[in-house]
Amino acid sequence: MKEGVKVPKVTFRVRIRDENNEYDWADLTTDQIFRGKKVAVFSLPGAFTPTCSSMQLPAYEQKYDELKKHVDEVYCLSVNDSFVMNAWAKDLAVENVKMIPDGGAHFTRAMGMLVEKPMQNFGMRSWRYSMIVDDGVVTHFMEEVGRNDFSQDDDPYEVSDPDTMLKKLGNTTFMQDITNNN
């Protein structure tokens, strides 16, 4: 994935609460998430895993208000189903960050970020990254180094954190360049 590229068009199957406070299935499209909005997205290998649960998701939840000064919404994406993502958010008392379950890995695969994680017996998962998307266009893409399949048990967490994202959000030069050239 490169900056200046549109995100793939995908429909996610999500479980949401209805008017009776019961969960029901719904479709959530990338157009609903990205069209006409500036959003922060971070993607991680899996719900309930050590780095994702102890550092990345809690850090984004903690920095949510600060991020919202620059973006319309903050999303966490993982190759997990909606049941798992909802249970994970509940377990960590996440109230602000919106969860995106990419259970079929359609978005992650189209982003070129799908990796095999056999050392943990995970199967196919997302490589850890974050991005800022403005009206469907990736303006900043922060990918952790060392993306690989099979060969290593790496799980870096250095550039997909909320502090790096906040630094990027403070630098609007890239988006101004795109806007001025169109």
| Catalytic residue flag (residue 76) | no
Helix H, strand E, coil C: the string for the chain is: CCCCCECCCCEEEEEEECCCCCEEEEEEEHHHHHCCCEEEEEEECCCCCHHHHHHHHHHHHHCHHHHHCCCCEEEEEECCCHHHHHHHHHHCCCCCCEEEECCCCHHHHHCCCEEEEHHHCCEEEECCEEEEEECCEEEEEEECCCCCCCCCCCCCCCCCCHHHHHHHHHCCHHHHHHHHHC
Answer whether 138's CB lies under 8 Å from 4's CB: yes
Catalytic residue among 14, 47, 52, 100: 52
Residue positions annotated with a catalytic role: 52
